[in-house]
Chain A
């Protein structure tokens, strides 16, 4: 397609686009297609979906708005972007929910056909925002999408008008492809694959996409086109990956590297279920998924599988982690290796199932009866979940202990490019099971500890001569026999605590972005990494003496952590919770630590963190 209008193309280094519409409008799909095309083109990308908790909220209402935000850039980006510069709004409700986020002067593409009195009312608009001055500060592109799409598809036979209207999203996508100078190939190929067996539907989508593109190309409705050049990422083969996908692949990898069967016992819960879906399709890897009758059963099955010698894992979210806590305590008492993935969501109670929070940190650290230390790690981005779940596995096996990976709804569903590793380069995870033996060797001692790691032996049923009983009652060292003796109790408590603490020897030291000492250290963990790192980088550019430490190993903390905190005049911890890591750090190190808590069940914006840094440093 020739473009005589080259002058209108503006080179920009990054752009944030949000696709928003009714949950039935296919906006997740539209955004995903755009993202895939941008990724294949070589932009760095970061996405954030935002969908309603209700599967089908009433059409046209604010509750039913589903959106996907994409940030594409010609350089390394870390977040899906603070404020979109381009908004595609398929109806008044989508416009209303997204407008507050939109950057002033941004571009809005609206489907004017959807701005009917009924839809305006459902969205709570008293007058039509397209006609009053609501949008006076924006560049509004009005497209009668329904009408023009029907026109483009009018001679396709075998589809009802309603079915044809379903491809409106592809018309809109075509317009955006034109705006951002993107080829249609990836999406056309996808349409062929997806609708291969339904030629009329495939044709409708193809034609809608093409017609949208042509509309931009020929009518020149738009003031501006944009060009975002490919990013210069490290060489290699890339794919797009979400946190949940990366977690599933990391689990399969860890299982292979242990030489073990992966057992994944879980109960469906948003937003963790996608891990189950991904793993259930991998039976050829000998992945044994088990959909239990409830959260407690899922955790119980993991204990049984771990006893049996599998790499045993569960995934949960929200109230699920509370239900699992008793059985997690038993896991700590039995001293068996297992991984618990908690994809945190908004709480308390049922809270906000599709929104994100970091508010289960204290629950997993301390939310069990008795003194029950557990390993806790947290990935910092979608692709980092691949690495951190592998780390959780490695540490769990080494210490013979449950390990928790704290993911969250934001990074679970967000995506970013992932430099695909060579599986041969990923180290094996050493696993030892004591060998069978004949009678006459004295009793087997299931709690005889390795002097270096303090881990007990992982003897599995089916091994001759190692028959032994484990249980949740207090026990004596070595034999594991039930014991309420005070000295035994102290010894076993110290051992359970000590073996977790000793893992600090085999995790990396805490790294710091910025000066090794100075005015301010920003400490963060989990999915806030992108926003915090970008904000600290900006503050450094502005001349502030500020550094960033992003914690991925929370229990135990890296061995240099306490010393590190002492190198700065002030320490602040931004978190999507009420200040939980700050609370822990104050308790551990008796230091004055600022908390910057955000309880909106939404990720940080870069600007929020930047402002806070400036506020502290003046």
Chain B
């Protein structure tokens, strides 16, 4: 366990995490040891106390948040992972801990357990496994062995138990560990490692129910015997156990076997723990006492982006392409029509909306002729050349979408012109096309040609035409950009609505 790199202001101690509530578990319950270790480890994980949240469901273990002086929710049966997921998506800076039991997490909440894990939401799930329902006073649980005699199964339970580690691995868990309430030091280490993992971390804790299932883990947790009954896993090290460190685990075909060292078998023959191997993790999860020592420690640990990281990345990408959301643009992204005070409706606009020009402004210009006399003159007398068109950026029709979009970004432009082998204009590809035809519709940008997504044979003008002509085309068709071509249809430049507005503005200033 490392306590390095913790900022000075985070120097917390165990007492900072103890709430003012009286702990109400049964005397001798394994939950006390777990609570103590969590309170001991949290000051070392490098997270400010106010960024730590404990969320639980229902059951003995789920009282946990009340005893922690952090943020917390004691929620409803089985659903803690769902609340934790919503919270982690909302605020990725938090360290979110789910406290659950074998009944809460694997029975009523089994569905949420696997889905949180497969999404790799940044959570630490502490699964208290005592193989019994404690709070409802002693019925068999989904991890109870078949044949378990309880109040609800006087002749023995008929259900085969579920293996939480195998289940988590089936959901492709990125971090799985196991520990015992009785081995407190090792337990604390497992919590620390879980806290440092980005993504869903599962720690299965073999925990003792002193009232309803007191002997469940007795055979493996006895301090005097642990060296024989537990296999302490360490990444990169051979799997050795035994009081005299004279036993090991090796593979016989696909199956693990326990071997004695010596008589021809050396450490080199043993399995070496590899936290990144899913196959090995499955093998370890299948090993149970007394045929095998019980593997404890980190069983699997791999790096994969978390759910929230992926989501924030999508938000960033969307904002890079579309800009931060604008409500008016949202409202008007449909076919529009305008009804003016006295007229019958007449102005039909297509859904092609300008992000840089307020449509209403343009309508106002059109509807108030008194104000537009000067503008009309300006628009008719000045030519498109007066707008000082920007040079066009051209690509071939077989350019990939990926490259085309990169070009637009690189040059910070809203449209590309597509030319044929004689450099004649054959199409236009605009940011609107990216939005309407590409985003979310094209999976592989590198494999798609811009030619298939451009608008073919676009309207183009020559530079000697009056600005009014361009304004007319833009207003009738809803264009934001217009290419300029020479008499051979070679692109010469590109003008945008903004250029027209800027020109107007400059002309006003000149006057």
Q: Which of B90, B111, B317, B339 touches A263 (beta carbons < 8 Å)? A: B90
Render A435-474 as a binary contact track against B, CB cut-off 8 A, 1 for contact. Answer: 0100000010000000000000000111111111111110
Taking CB atoms, residues of chain A closer than 8 Å to B386 are: none
Q: Is B331 a contact of A230 with CB atoms below 8 Å?
A: no
Taking CB atoms, residues of chain B closer than 8 Å to A298 are: 82
Q: Is B82 a contact of A301 with CB atoms below 8 Å?
A: yes
Which segment, of B65-73, B298-306, B502-510, faces chain A?
B65-73
Q: A300-B112, A301-B83 are in contact. Are A282 and B73 (CB under 8 A)?
A: no
Q: Is A301 a contact of B86 with CB atoms below 8 Å?
A: yes
Q: Is B20 a contact of A443 with CB atoms below 8 Å?
A: yes
B264 within 8 A of A: no
Q: Is A481 a contact of B21 with CB atoms below 8 Å?
A: yes
Q: A300-B75, A300-B82, A303-B86 are in contact. Are A239 and B336 (CB under 8 A)?
A: yes
B446 within 8 A of A: no
Taking CB atoms, residues of chain B closer than 8 Å to A290 are: 85-86, 89
CA distance A39 to B66 in the complex (A): 58
Render A231-257 as a binary contact track against B, CB cut-off 8 A, 1 for contact. Answer: 011111111110000000100110010
CA distance A42 to B339 in the complex (A): 8
Chain A residue with Cβ nearest B50: A464
Q: Is A304 a contact of B85 with CB atoms below 8 Å?
A: yes
Which segment, of A5-13, A154-162, A415-423, A488-496, faces chain B?
A415-423
Q: Is B332 a contact of A239 with CB atoms below 8 Å?
A: yes
CA distance A295 to B98 in the complex (A): 20
Taking CB atoms, residues of chain B closer than 8 Å to A296 are: 79, 82
Taking CB atoms, residues of chain A closer than 8 Å to B340 are: 235
Q: A263-B89, A282-B330 are in contact. Are A326 and B76 (CB under 8 A)?
A: yes
Q: Is A334 a contact of B73 with CB atoms below 8 Å?
A: yes
Taking CB atoms, residues of chain B closer than 8 Å to A310 are: 86, 90
Q: Is B83 a contact of A461 with CB atoms below 8 Å?
A: no
A327 within 8 A of B: yes
Q: A42-B345, A467-B49 are in contact. Are A283 and B314 (CB under 8 A)?
A: yes
CA distance A41 to B50 in the complex (A): 58
Taking CB atoms, residues of chain B closer than 8 Å to A443 are: 20
Taking CB atoms, residues of chain B closer than 8 Å to A327 are: 76, 79, 82
CA distance A305 to B112 in the complex (A): 16
Q: Which of B48, B49, B338, B436 touches A236 (beta carbons < 8 Å)? A: B338
Q: A297-B111, A297-B115, A464-B48 are in contact. Are A421 and B339 (CB under 8 A)?
A: no
Q: Is B315 a contact of A286 with CB atoms below 8 Å?
A: yes
CA distance A236 to B363 in the complex (A): 10
CA distance A187 to B150 in the complex (A): 71
Q: Is A300 a contact of B86 with CB atoms below 8 Å?
A: yes
Q: Is B90 a contact of A261 with CB atoms below 8 Å?
A: yes
Q: A290-B85, A421-B331 are in contact. Are A284 and B323 (CB under 8 A)?
A: yes
Q: Is B453 a contact of A197 with CB atoms below 8 Å?
A: yes
A92 within 8 A of B: no
CB distance from B145 to the nearest CB of A (A): 28
CA distance A307 to B90 in the complex (A): 9
The number of chain A residues with a CB under 8 A from chain B is: 85
Q: Is B79 a contact of A252 with CB atoms below 8 Å?
A: no
Taking CB atoms, residues of chain B closer than 8 Å to A465 are: 50
Q: Is B335 a contact of A240 with CB atoms below 8 Å?
A: yes
Q: Is B50 a contact of A469 with CB atoms below 8 Å?
A: no
CB distance from A29 to the nearest CB of B (A): 14
**Residues of chain B from 287 to 345 with CB closer than 8 A to chain A in the complex:** 311, 314-315, 317-319, 321-325, 327-328, 330-332, 334-341, 344-345
Q: Is B50 a contact of A304 with CB atoms below 8 Å?
A: no
CB distance from A200 to the nearest CB of B (A): 13
Q: Which of B69, B75, B341, B363 touches A330 (beta carbons < 8 Å)? A: B75
B431 within 8 A of A: no
Render A294-330 as a binary contact track against B, CB cut-off 8 A, 1 for contact. Answer: 1011111111111111101000000000000011001
Taking CB atoms, residues of chain A closer than 8 Å to B87 are: 304-305, 307-308, 461
Q: Is B350 a contact of A235 with CB atoms below 8 Å?
A: no
Chain B residue with Cβ nearest A460: B91
Taking CB atoms, residues of chain A closer than 8 Å to B111 are: 293-294, 297
Q: Is A305 a contact of B90 with CB atoms below 8 Å?
A: yes
Q: Is A305 a contact of B71 with CB atoms below 8 Å?
A: no
CA distance A292 to B330 in the complex (A): 26
CA distance A443 to B19 in the complex (A): 10
**Residues of chain B from 210 to 254 with CB closer than 8 A to chain A in the complex:** none
Q: A39-B335, A230-B345, A256-B327 are in contact. Are A292 and B82 (CB under 8 A)?
A: yes
A196 within 8 A of B: yes
Taking CB atoms, residues of chain A closer than 8 Å to B72 are: 468-470
B360 within 8 A of A: yes
CB distance from A251 to the nearest CB of B (A): 11
CA distance A593 to B261 in the complex (A): 88
Chain B residue with Cβ nearest A386: B331
CB distance from B451 to the nearest CB of A (A): 9
The number of chain B residues with a CB under 8 A from chain A is: 76
Q: Is B89 a contact of A196 with CB atoms below 8 Å?
A: no
Q: Is B331 a contact of A423 with CB atoms below 8 Å?
A: yes
B348 within 8 A of A: yes
B94 within 8 A of A: yes
Q: Is A239 a contact of B335 with CB atoms below 8 Å?
A: yes
Q: Is B334 a contact of A240 with CB atoms below 8 Å?
A: yes
A189 within 8 A of B: yes
Q: A237-B338, A240-B335, A462-B94 are in contact. Are A467 and B83 (CB under 8 A)?
A: no
CB distance from A488 to the nearest CB of B (A): 16
Q: Is A41 a contact of B75 with CB atoms below 8 Å?
A: no
Q: Is A42 a contact of B83 with CB atoms below 8 Å?
A: no
CB distance from A322 to the nearest CB of B (A): 15
B93 within 8 A of A: yes
Q: Is B90 a contact of A423 with CB atoms below 8 Å?
A: no
Chain B residue with Cβ nearest A285: B325
Render B342-376 as a binary contact track against A, CB cut-off 8 A, 1 for contact. Answer: 00111010100000000110010000000000000
Q: Is A307 a contact of B83 with CB atoms below 8 Å?
A: yes
CA distance A128 to B107 in the complex (A): 59
Q: Is A189 a contact of B350 with CB atoms below 8 Å?
A: yes
Q: Is A305 a contact of B89 with CB atoms below 8 Å?
A: yes
CB distance from A237 to the nearest CB of B (A): 5
Taking CB atoms, residues of chain B closer than 8 Å to A292 are: 82, 85, 115
Q: Is A471 a contact of B86 with CB atoms below 8 Å?
A: no
Chain B residue with Cβ nearest A459: B71
Taking CB atoms, residues of chain B closer than 8 Å to A233 are: 339
Q: Is B318 a contact of A239 with CB atoms below 8 Å?
A: no
CA distance A312 to B68 in the complex (A): 26
CB distance from B298 to the nearest CB of A (A): 27
Q: Which of A186, A303, A463, A468 touches B83 (beta carbons < 8 Å)? A: A303
Q: A297-B79, A422-B328 are in contact. Are A308 and B86 (CB under 8 A)?
A: yes
A36 within 8 A of B: yes
A281 within 8 A of B: yes
CB distance from A135 to the nearest CB of B (A): 35
A512 within 8 A of B: no
Taking CB atoms, residues of chain B closer than 8 Å to A36 are: 335
CB distance from B445 to the nearest CB of A (A): 15
CB distance from A457 to the nearest CB of B (A): 13
Chain B residue with Cβ nearest A282: B325
Q: Is A420 a contact of B50 with CB atoms below 8 Å?
A: no
Having A284-B319, A310-B86, one finds 8 other A-B pairs with CB under 8 Å, namely A232-B339, A236-B338, A284-B318, A284-B321, A297-B85, A307-B87, A312-B90, A461-B91
Chain A positions near chain B (C-beta within 8 angstroms): 36, 39-42, 185-186, 189, 193, 196-197, 199, 229-230, 232-241, 249, 252-253, 256, 261, 263, 265, 281-288, 290, 292-294, 296-310, 312, 326-327, 330, 334, 420-423, 436, 443, 460-473, 481-482
22 inter-chain pairs at a CB distance below 8 angstroms, sorted by A residue, are A230-B344, A237-B338, A239-B332, A249-B330, A249-B331, A284-B319, A284-B322, A285-B330, A287-B325, A288-B89, A288-B90, A292-B82, A294-B111, A300-B85, A303-B86, A304-B85, A308-B91, A310-B86, A462-B91, A469-B68, A470-B74, A471-B75
> What 10 A-B pairs have minimum CB-CB distances, sorted nearest first?
A300-B82, A304-B86, A42-B345, A285-B325, A471-B74, A301-B86, A308-B90, A283-B318, A304-B83, A304-B87
